Amino acid sequence: MQGFLFRKIEVWAVLLLALLGLLGVVGFGAAVLDGERGTGRFGPAGEAAVTVAEIPDTLKTLLARDMAMAAFSPHRFADRPAGWTFAEGARPEGYVLLSRYDGDRTRHVVQFVALADGAVMHEWLPDADSLLADAPHTSRIAEYSNWDTEHYRAIHPILADDGTLVIKDHQSYLYGLGACSEKLWSQYGVLLHHATESDGAGGWWIPGYAEPSPVEGVAPDFADDALVHIGPKGEILWQKSLTQILLDHGMEYAMFTAGDYQKDPVHLNDIQPVLKDGPYWKAGDLFLSFRHMSMVMLYRPATNEIVWTHQGPWLAQHDVDILDDSRIAVFNNNAYERGTLARVHGTNEITVYDFATGETSEPWDAALEKADVKTLFEGLFTVLPDGTAMVEEENSGRLLFLGRDGTVRAEYINTGADGVAYRMGWTRYMTVAEGKAALATLSAATCGG
């Protein structure tokens, strides 16, 4: 064997082998390009060459851990206790629908939690595999192959008076679940996304998509947001293309300029219905939040009228709430992109706009700065009856209850046993009265083990 390994080899043989090897590499490369481009000159050999060339990436994918549902900043609060932490003194009153991805169970859960002690009073386990089994595959926006239980998020769930939990994912259809997570009804008429807000009469306003867009001349990949009004059983009561609304009011400049084409120029992320008349709005009006325009708008569907708009000081905001008969508040992500990756100016803000004075203020600035709240995208807030602000810092898997004095009254960190923080799903606050009514309804259900 040793003699064979160390025998002399003629130079011409070495050169011949090198030439054959080079020709083989060139031929293999040509076959890979053929298979990649789909020209078909190499037949099945082209596809086989692509498969061989992808072996390193395939192995990397198989060996890599699936972190798709981890938070954007999964280790930011790795030194904090997982779950609930309460400060000394009075705790926030009420309940929350805590919507979160459970990294230990590798699925999204919705938990009805008492803020008095963090106890889980009820839990829903949405099974996307069965929920979406009969969903139509006609939309160009959603990739249905990714809608499985392991990757589904229940975004901004809401509990109806009859105990039905209404859920969706981003770019998803709407479902009503019973107390035992069983599907009661589904809505397959329009894809929905972002916030779900009550219309005060048993239905909801939810951002959706106009497919196909009624606007002429838009590219196939253009995201035409829609205002969608949904009834108590998922029925579509009314919907309208947001792009068409803006064009009807001479706002083409905000979407279609001579510069670079933007397939998602508006990015509607919240529809906040006005439930009663006030000095500056009427019942039935809608406050709309446009992230990519950094704009909040007051729109009147009854007359197709844009009543008011304001662009900034908020940047890439999410979530607009009505505080009283003259003030609104906006969750200001304070996020910007100057071509060097998106960032947050300092921390997030809750910006209050006063229609009576036309002025803005940031009453919770000290609290948000002290807690170092900075979610680049998503995120929301709710002002509790006692003035405490509930803030979901989605990108870090954290939920906070902040006093204006900067006190963190309660904190939830959505960390798994692996020390990784996982994504949140837009938690909803419920008052004491709302929570007790929900408990009374849910307690009648008997679910199997």
> Which residues, other chains included, contact 103 with Cβ-Cβ below 8 Å and sequence gap of 6+?
69, 70, 414, 415, 416, 417, 418, 420, 422
Task: Based on the fold, state whether residues 168 and 56 are members of the same structural domain.
Answer: no
In a domain, 3, yes or no: no
Whether residue 8 has pLDDT greater than 90: no
412-440 pLDDT, tens digit each: 999 999 999 999 999 999 999 999 999 99
At residue 59 the predicted structure's pLDDT band, cuts being 50, 70 and 90, is very low
Q: What is the pLDDT of residue 237?
A: 98
Write phi, then psi, for 442 (nearest 5 degrees): -70, -30
Q: What is the pLDDT of residue 141?
A: 80
Count of domains observed in the chain: 2
Task: Based on the fold, state whether residues 39 and 90 are members of the same structural domain.
Answer: no
Task: Based on the fold, state whether residues 90 and 137 are members of the same structural domain.
Answer: yes
Task: Based on the fold, state whether residues 42 and 183 are members of the same structural domain.
Answer: no
H/E element holding 413?
A: strand 408-413
Residue identified by tokens 């390009």 is: 33
Note the pTM of the prediction, 2 decimals. Answer: 0.85
In a domain, 133, yes or no: yes
Nearest partner of 224 among 268, 162, 254, judged by Cα: 268
Q: Are 94 and 432 in contact (CB under 8 A)?
A: yes
Averaged over 111-125, what is the pLDDT?
A: 97
Q: Are 163 and 124 in contact (CB under 8 A)?
A: no
371-418 pLDDT, tens digit each: 999 999 999 999 999 999 999 999 999 999 998 888 899 999 999 999
DSSP 173-198: EEEEE-TTS-EEEEEEEEEE-S--EE
Question: pLDDT over 70 for what percent of the chain?
Answer: 85
Query: What residues make up the domain containing 50?
Result: 10-63
Task: Based on the fold, state whether residues 382 and 293 are members of the same structural domain.
Answer: yes
Computed over every residue of the chain, the mean pLDDT equals 89
Nearest partner of 295 among 338, 339, 251, 260, judged by Cα: 251
In a domain, 5, yes or no: no
Averaged over 82-96, what is the pLDDT?
A: 94
